Structure 1
Amino acid sequence: MIEIQNVTKEFPGKTAVKDLTLEVENGKIFGFLGPNGAGKSTTIKMLTGILPVEEGRIAINGFDISKHPLKAKQLIGYVPDRSDVFLRLKGIEYLNFIADVYQVPTKVRKEKIEYLTKSFGIYEDLNDHILTYSHGMRQKIVVSGVLLHDPEVWILDEPLTGLDPKSSYTLKEMMREHANKGNIVFFSTHVLEVVEQLCDEVAIINNGHIEFRGNMTDMKQQFKDDDNLEKLFLELTQDE
């Protein structure tokens, strides 16, 4: 379970997140939506321990991200919204480095690397430097690295950006399979059709506050029956 309790995050001249409370149960694909500047990325960065939690509490499966950061982070697989990291490493070097960090045994990592990179169509490119990869290939190598240690909680920030249709479909299938095993997939996206297809629950954040939280049926019942998600999203965030 992800628990966010009364979290506030302030930057000079701005309150990015204000008294935010949100819980995500196991077995869910949870969509986290919001316009630019709404507090979405700030929340994700606190959830993953990149930004400190200065007011409130965040816990991953019972481990407080501030008090037990290593234990909490071991449970997380995080795909950031930027994939231009470790560019001077070869693909296989990067994946082995990530496997070393999470102490993935040699036999297991070999099988996982082969499975993931073949699934995303980059197996033949592992001996090339990441610097030579296209944006989509970089996204695939980052996603492969994140999934190597089989984390219980996936936190994905715009994970489908740059992926070709086949790889996008593969990742969406993996997300569904992961949630069906009783785990959590928490992801942000601007692709509203994906939200309608995948999400068990949705939260929309705007101006640092949660404007809506529920499933797609709840959302559509709250508004006009003939409205699609894009219209609902625009209505919920019209005060941006």
Structure 2
Amino acid sequence: MAKDSNDVIIEIRNLTVTLGHQMVLKDINLVVKHGQIIGYIGPNGAGKSTTIKTMLGLVKGYHGSIRIMGRDIADSNGEYKRHIGYVPETAEIYESLTADEYLTFVGGLYGLPENIVRNKGLALAKLMGLEDGYYSRISSYSKGMRQKVLLIAALLHNPDILFLDEPLSGLDANSVMIVKDLLAQLALAKKTIFYSSHIMDVVEKISNRIVLINKGTIIADGSFEELKTLARGQSLEDIFGRMTSFFEHEDIAKQCVAIIQGD
């Protein structure tokens, strides 16, 4: 699929999503260019996962338009999904399969030859410390091991765009460092990364653009340095608190300790 001449890979215009009787997204406008790492942050229920799922075609009945790689997804036959890798916040994974079998299955969905999938899957598993359990059933895996399988599955077909929803969940410290550097290298290779997480220090370090959503509306969009100036904050956590008007965290923590230590 050809890339846009203006280097835009995702374009969202006036996106509104209502689930049941609740408006989850309100008039979202966002333009993303090739090679950007977008840190997409917001409180629980702000609409982060809904935004990603809508772009993936998993939410129907939205209003507005979404163009990915130059094509409106409403008019697409789903071909754009071949160019996307996705790690969901919570995923159903076939626990009766081994990592080798699961990745072979996923690779087949993308039309990859089995021998290439097996070679790439095992090579990536070794680098991510998954080699010892690679041929064991996923039902025996820890949360971190499952997360590594999902990450590898999202990368096997060399996607142009990565949608990552809390991708570091369950990973040990060494694996977190590997994934952070991997994302930076993928961005250098002109991959576009849409990264949603509550881990502010990671978002701050890896993102070249941060988008803050609150109550279904984008309230800030810019580099970390730009947001620091806008919100007069020193860290992303500080900026987040100021822009979402959440200042009670220290007081709440003190109240929790008082309850814990009380009779």
Task: Give the TM-score normalised by structure 1.
Answer: 0.95
Q: What's the offset of the Cα at 1:84?
A: 4.3
* Equivalence map 1:36-47=2 (5 Å): 36-47=44-55
Give the letter aligned to residue 183 of structure 2: M
State the match for 2:160 in structure 1: 152
Q: What's the offset of the Cα at 1:83?
A: 3.8
Moved more, 38-47 or 65-74: 65-74
Say which structure, 1 or 2, has more relative contact order (CA 8 Å, 6+ apart): 1
Task: Give the Cα–Cα distance (whole angstroms) in 2 for the partners of residues 110 and 55 of structure 1.
Answer: 41
One of 199, 218, 224 as aligned partner of 1:191: 199
Give the letter aligned to residue 187 of structure 1: Y
* CA RMSD between the two structures: 1.6
Q: 1:69 to 1:212 in 2, by over 3 A?
A: farther
1:104 paired with 2:91, answer: no
State the match for 1:230 in structure 2: 237
Task: Give the Cα–Cα distance (whole angstroms) in 1 for the partners of residues 171 and 92 of structure 2.
Answer: 15
Task: Give the Cα–Cα distance (whole angstroms) in 1 for the partners of residues 66 and 131 of structure 2.
Answer: 37
Task: Give the Cα–Cα distance (whole angstroms) in 1 for the partners of residues 231 and 60 of structure 2.
Answer: 36
Q: 1:173 to 1:53 in 2, by over 3 A?
A: farther
Q: 1:16 to 1:69 in 2, by over 3 A?
A: farther
Moved more, 203-212 or 168-177: 168-177
* 3-state SS of 1:9 partner: strand
Structure 1 unaligned spans of 5+: none
Give the letter aligned to residue 127 of structure 2: S
State the match for 1:163 in structure 2: 171
One of 134, 139, 157 as aligned partner of 1:131: 139
* Equivalence map 1:27-176=2 (5 Å): 27-52=35-60, 54-176=62-184
Tell whether the 8 Å contact from 1:49 to 1:69 is kept in structure 2 after alignment. Answer: no
Task: Give the Cα–Cα distance (whole angstroms) in 2 for the partners of residues 7 and 21 of structure 1.
Answer: 7
Q: What's the offset of the Cα at 1:24?
A: 1.1
Q: What's the offset of the Cα at 1:69?
A: 4.3
Q: Identity over aligned residues, as a percent?
A: 37
Cα deviations by residue, 1:197-237 (Å, 9 ceiling, x for unpaired): 11000100001100000001110111225x32111101111
Task: Give the TM-score normalised by structure 2.
Answer: 0.87
State the match for 2:29 in structure 1: 21
Cα deviations by residue, 1:108-159 (Å, 9 ceiling, x for unpaired): 2233112211121112212111111000000001111111101100000000
Structure 2 unaligned spans of 5+: 1-8, 247-263
Task: Give the Cα–Cα distance (whole angstroms) in 1 for the partners of residues 61 and 45 of structure 2.
Answer: 18
Give the letter aligned to residue 72 of structure 1: Y
Task: Give the Cα–Cα distance (whole angstroms) in 1 for the partners of residues 153 and 83 of structure 2.
Answer: 14
Task: Give the Cα–Cα distance (whole angstroms) in 1 for the partners of residues 86 and 77 of structure 2.
Answer: 14
Moved more, 82-91 or 128-137: 82-91
